Amino acid sequence: MKKILIHSGYIKLDQFLKLSDCVSTGGMAKALLQEGQVLVNGEVEERRGRKLYPGDRIEVQDNGVFEVEGGGIQE
């Protein structure tokens, strides 16, 4: 499992998919989600704007398993 560090309270799922190098564009993220290839905490997720918080587990078909890790809020 790969841990992805965020520096805010949450990250939106489409941004997370780009940050974790699963996709390179928002359109690719949308297609991946519509095809049901993304699980958040074990459940299929189709909403690009889904907020992810530290501790959330994301599985992306053919890309692996990731966990959101909080690093605190930087100002």
Quick: pLDDT tens for 20-47: 999 999 999 999 999 999 999 999 999 9
pLDDT over 60 at 75, yes or no:
no
Question: At 72, is the pLDDT very low, low, confident or very high (cuts 50, 70, 90)?
Answer: low
Strand order in the sheet with 64-70: 2-6, 64-70, 57-60, 38-40, 43-44
Token duo for residue 65: 């398993």
Token duo for residue 6: 């965020």
For the chain, domains (ranges, CATH) are 2-70 (3.10.290.10)
Q: Cβ contacts of residue 3 below 8 Å, gap of 6+?
A: 66, 67, 68, 69
